[in-house]
């Protein structure tokens, strides 16, 4: 079947899936968006609501989809997952979501799709690895949103701290999308200057103290948002849009998506985030940079944490 280069399938019609579609619709990037969820009524409602805005935006079709839609899609974004139920442990929730992702991957696989599969459901690194094992696709084509959101939070907080445009901050969070994530200070630059030098030149803050606080704020952001409003969806929606643009427009953008490592950064057989060049085929190259010794140690610890979670899933 001929691929529709501007077709996106979204699995999961919850807050994340629909916030992403709401942002995607407005860009004119996609010509066709198909939404799939177990809750058919919810899908119908979301599609009607979104469609009523179509007279105001570039032409695009939004419809209730089926797995058959994956056959000619360019990108499949998986946001489907179970919520933690009362009394359920974190490990039980991970197992439940791993089972959901195995089942969804099986249904995608049945369509012989050549689309890039972008995983979002948490724990995103572990579930990217589950999907990669279940799909007969090259490693670059099964990726996770990883720390693209965390890196955006990092850039935003640094931009606020330094009083400059967030788009002029180059900063990366590596490793797990979670508590063991690693702020890569050695890769962080403003105006082409390493951040520590920039802060010394600027000389208005106690930057060592503030850098530590910023890294902690990035790591704890999701907890605060969940405390205040239940869940996070706008930031991740725009992060997914950024990744979508890189794939649909073959931008070859450097993004910290979660990808399967085979020796890069001295790590093997684990999915986590490092800077990757993302284009039409997904991850086209992993940027295997040299980190400072302490950052490398933290990345290895993050990989061990993820290995422990992956082993619990018992594939």
Q: Give the nearest distance from C-beta 55 to ligand NAD in angstroms.
A: 27
Active-site residue, from 52, 170, 177, 189: 177
Site for ligand NAD in 31-90 (CB under 6 A): 37-39, 42, 79-83
Choice between 11 and 276, CB closer to ligand NAD: 11
- Are 176 and 272 contacting, i.e. CB atoms less than 8 angstroms apart? yes
Q: State the greatest distance between any 2 C-alpha atoms of the chain, in Å, as a whole number.
A: 60
Choice between 23 and 190, CB closer to ligand NAD: 23
Q: Is 302 in the site for ligand NAD (CB under 6 A)?
A: no
DSSP letter at 259?
Answer: E
- Token pair recorded at residue 167: 């788009």
- Are 20 and 241 contacting, i.e. CB atoms less than 8 angstroms apart? yes
Q: Give the nearest distance from C-beta 226 to ligand NAD in angstroms.
A: 9
- Token pair recorded at residue 197: 């030098």
Give the span between the Cα atoms of 213 and 251, in whole angstroms. 33
Is there a catalytic annotation at residue 177?
yes
Site for ligand NAD in 141-200 (CB under 6 A): 145, 149, 177
Choice between 202 and 225, CB closer to ligand NAD: 225
User: How big is the site for ligand NAD, counted in residues (CB under 6 A)?
Assistant: 30
- Are 310 and 98 contacting, i.e. CB atoms less than 8 angstroms apart? no
Q: Is the peptide bond before 161 cis (omega within 30 degrees of 0)?
A: no
Q: How far is CA 208 from CA 87, 160, 203, 211, in A?
A: 41, 16, 12, 5
Site for ligand NAD in 88-147 (CB under 6 A): 100, 103-104, 120-122, 124, 145
Q: Give the nearest distance from C-beta 239 to ligand NAD in angstroms.
A: 7
What are the catalytic residues?
177
Q: Contact positions toward ligand NAD, by CB under 6 A?
A: 11-17, 37-39, 42, 79-83, 100, 103-104, 120-122, 124, 145, 149, 177, 231-233, 236
């Amino acid at each position: 079947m001929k691929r529709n280069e501007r077709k996106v399938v979204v699995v999961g019609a919850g807050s994340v899936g629909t916030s992403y579609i709401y942002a995607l619709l407005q860009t004119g990037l996609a010509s066709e968006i198909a939404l799939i969820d177990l809750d058919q009524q919810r899908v119908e409602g979301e599609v009607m609501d979104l469609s009523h805005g179509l007279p105001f935006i570039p032409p695009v079709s939004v419809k209730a989809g089926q797995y058959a839609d994956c056959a000619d899609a360019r990108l499949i974004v998986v946001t489907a997952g179970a919520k933690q139920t009362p009394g359920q442990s974190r490990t039980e929730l991970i197992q439940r979501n791993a089972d959901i992702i195995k089942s969804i991957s099986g249904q995608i696989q049945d369509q012989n799709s050549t689309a890039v599969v972008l995983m979002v459901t948490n724990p995103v690194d572990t579930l990217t690895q589950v999907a990669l094992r279940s799909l007969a696709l090259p490693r670059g084509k099964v990726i996770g949103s990883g720390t693209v959101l965390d890196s955006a939070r990092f850039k935003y907080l640094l931009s606020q701290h330094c009083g400059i445009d967030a788009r002029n901050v180059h900063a990366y969070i590596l490793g797990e999308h979670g508590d063991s994530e690693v702020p890569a200070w050695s890769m962080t630059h403003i105006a082409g200057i390493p951040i520590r030098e920039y802060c010394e030149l600027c000389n208005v803050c106690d930057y060592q103290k503030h850098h530590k606080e910023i890294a902690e704020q990035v790591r704890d952001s999701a907890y605060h948002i969940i405390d205040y409003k239940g869940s996070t969806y706008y930031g991740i929606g725009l992060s997914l849009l950024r990744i979508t643009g890189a794939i649909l427009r073959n931008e070859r953008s450097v993004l910290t998506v979660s990808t399967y490592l085979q020796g890069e950064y001295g790590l093997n057989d684990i999915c986590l985030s490092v800077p990757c060049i993302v284009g039409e085929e997904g991850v086209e190259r992993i940027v295997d940079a040299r980190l400072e010794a302490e950052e490398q140690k933290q990345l290895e610890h993050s990989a061990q944490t993820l290995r422990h979670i992956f082993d619990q899933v018992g594939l």
